[in-house]
Amino acid sequence: MKKKWLALLTATTMVISLMGCGSQAATPTADATADETAPAADTEEAAPADESSSEASDSTLTVWCWDPAFNVYAMEQAAEVYKATNPDFVLNVVETPWNDVQTKLTTAASSGDLSTLPDILLMQDNAFQKNVISYPDAFVDLTSSGIDFTQFGTSKVTYSTVEDKNYGVPFDNGAVIACYRTDILEQAGYTVDDLTDITWSKYIEIGKDVLEKTGKPLLSCQAGETDVIMMMLQSAGGSLFDADGNPDMVDNDILKEVMNTYAELVSSGVCIEVNDWDQYVGSINNETVAGTVNGCWIMASIQSVPEQSEKWAITNMPKLDKAATATNYSNNGGSSWAVTSNCKNVELAADFFAKTFAGSVELYETILPSSGALATYLPAAESTVYTEPQKFFGGEAVFAKITEFAGKIPSNNTGVYYYEARDAVAVAITNLVAGADIDTELQTAEDTVNFAMGK
């Protein structure tokens, strides 16, 4: 009997110790995460390595963002700016890729345990509406927090506004630019001015000529991705949803024109389709194409080939021919800062933003030259740093130009079901390029989105 009890005891101990392993393992992991972030946040000498977000002291803010050369850097510089007036302030940046931010946010919010979230996280503008509406309790309303949202471009603020409440501080700019290789255009007898303020039909006309004379298409696109479609759509103020949030595709004349234009771009050979992002960037860097149209953040990829310096020029994108509201300006990508409900010191976070991203021209002057982080904060555009000529782009003051573009972008309504709609349109455009009928395809796309919305 004694032996039996002993065996039972041993077994129980084993079970308990195993379970103990599980919970113990969690703690070192959390520490490890904090440790890893320490080098990233090495500008903050005072950052204690073992401090996790949940037990942050009063003057500490933890932030999730993803790009060390871009938004992490910008955040650290902002901390420096803020520290000048608040010496106790400590910023703890945890480098987290966007997909992980989304997954962690989904997990934390749907389990109802927000304690794993940081104080501040960077969110893709396209996912903002979805996340705030899905998890209203996870975010802090910043409308009356002292941050002046009127200082940002309207189209940008719209992304992070839900039911007239501001949930996000706008950060980077996704203003669309058209980039062209001036040397290739020259071979075909064109200059950048010929491609400025033009329509898509003119673009296709020139594109065919360039293709014939140099063998290079003007544009490359990722097959099955709708970036170009969405850019064209927004350039005319169009959306995939109406004002009430219902999918609006079948009777959407702007969308139809966009889809037909895209199909023509592909069928004429002016645009070549590639399979993934690396091939897309490759086609630009390897001179497979003579230009591209994308958010201004694409400049970082273009500039990765130093030999092509002075061979690039930037101008605005082509506009739609028929749509009455057509412009040469649009937006693609971009992100905004959100404050989570796990933030213990919302006043500090709000004050931090009010004095940095929403109040410091100096901050934007610091981050622009080294990271190319273009502001959506309008007063920054008047800074002299923005008017400095950029050698790579033919000695033009491209940053001032893009900031000017940014102010002219029509607003668009992403809606909550943005990704569903985007994927449905991607299916439609793939079939359209393969020869399907546009009305049938749009009907299917609208049905798909309606179905996803449970209608």
**Shortest spacing between CB 232 and another protein, in angstroms:** 20
Place of tokens 């949803």: 241
109 is a contact residue toward another protein (CB under 8 A): yes
**Shortest spacing between CB 255 and another protein, in angstroms:** 17
What's the half-sphere exposure (Cβ side, CA atoms, 13 Å) at 242?
11
Residue closer to another protein, measured from CB, 152 or 280: 280
Residue closer to another protein, measured from CB, 187 or 444: 444
Residue closer to another protein, measured from CB, 187 or 431: 431
**Shortest spacing between CB 113 and another protein, in angstroms:** 11
Alpha helical stretches, state H, 135-199: 154-159, 182-187
244 is a contact residue toward another protein (CB under 8 A): no
Q: How far is 158 from 174, CA to CA, in rounded Å? A: 14
Span interacting with another protein, options 70-78, 252-260, 311-319, 441-449, rule CB under 8 A: 441-449
Q: Count CB atoms within 10 A of the CB of residue 34.
A: 20
**Shortest spacing between CB 106 and another protein, in angstroms:** 6
**Shortest spacing between CB 161 and another protein, in angstroms:** 18
420 is a contact residue toward another protein (CB under 8 A): yes
Q: Select the residue interacting with another protein from 14, 26, 32, 84 (CB under 8 A).
A: 14
Sheet containing strand 168-170, strands side by side: 90-95, 60-65, 120-124, 335-339, 168-170
**Shortest spacing between CB 71 and another protein, in angstroms:** 21
Alpha helical stretches, state H, 138-219: 154-159, 182-187, 200-214
8 is a contact residue toward another protein (CB under 8 A): yes
7 is a contact residue toward another protein (CB under 8 A): yes
Q: How far is 5 from 9, CA to CA, in rounded Å? A: 6
Residue closer to another protein, measured from CB, 97 or 389: 97
Q: Count CB atoms within 10 A of the CB of residue 114.
A: 17
Q: Select the residue interacting with another protein from 343, 426, 442, 446 (CB under 8 A).
A: 426
Q: How far is 106 from 399, CA to CA, in rounded Å? A: 36
445 is a contact residue toward another protein (CB under 8 A): no
Could you tell me which residues come within 8 angstroms of residue 91 by beta carbon, excluding any fewer than 6 positions away?
Answer: 41, 44, 47, 60, 61, 63, 75, 76, 78, 79, 82
Q: How far is 289 from 286, CA to CA, in rounded Å? A: 8
Q: How far is 169 from 159, CA to CA, in rounded Å? A: 10
Q: Are 275 and 217 in contact (CB under 8 A)?
A: no
Span interacting with another protein, options 109-117, 157-165, 246-254, 362-370, rule CB under 8 A: 109-117
Residue closer to another protein, measured from CB, 138 or 326: 138
Q: How many helices (H) and strands (E) does the chain have?
A: 16, 12
> Of the candidates 102, 43, 98, 45, which has an alpha carbon nearest to the alpha carbon of residue 74?
43
In this structure, what token pair is assigned to residue 268? 């004429």
Binding to another protein (CB under 8 A): which residues in 120-149? 130, 133-135, 137
Residue closer to another protein, measured from CB, 38 or 438: 438
User: Rounded to 5 degrees, what angle do the CA atoms 122, 336, 71 make?
Assistant: 55
- x/- letters, 15..34, toward another protein (CB under 8 A): x--xx---------------
- x/- letters, 269..288, toward another protein (CB under 8 A): ---xxxxx-xx--------x
454 is a contact residue toward another protein (CB under 8 A): yes
Residue closer to another protein, measured from CB, 38 or 427: 427
223 is a contact residue toward another protein (CB under 8 A): yes
Residue closer to another protein, measured from CB, 199 or 246: 246
Q: How far is 222 from 204, CA to CA, in rounded Å? A: 18
Q: Select the residue interacting with another protein from 305, 346, 427, 438 (CB under 8 A).
A: 427
**Shortest spacing between CB 385 and another protein, in angstroms:** 38
Q: Select the residue interacting with another protein from 24, 103, 143, 191 (CB under 8 A).
A: 103
> Of the candidates 288, 336, 327, which has an alpha carbon nearest to the alpha carbon of residue 152?
336
217 three-class SS: coil
224 is a contact residue toward another protein (CB under 8 A): yes
**Shortest spacing between CB 18 and another protein, in angstroms:** 5
Could you tell me which residues come within 8 angstroms of residue 293 by beta carbon, excluding any fewer than 6 positions away?
Answer: 176, 177, 178, 179, 219, 228, 231, 317, 318
Kindly determine how many residues on this chain lie close enough to bind another protein according to the rule CB under 8 A. Answer: 49
E strand intervals along 297-401: 312-315, 335-339
| Residue numbers at the binding site for another protein (CB under 8 A) | 1-2, 4, 7-8, 10-11, 14-15, 18-19, 99, 102-103, 106, 109-110, 112, 130, 133-135, 137, 223-224, 272-276, 278-279, 288, 416-417, 419-420, 423, 426-427, 430-431, 434, 444, 447-448, 451-452, 454
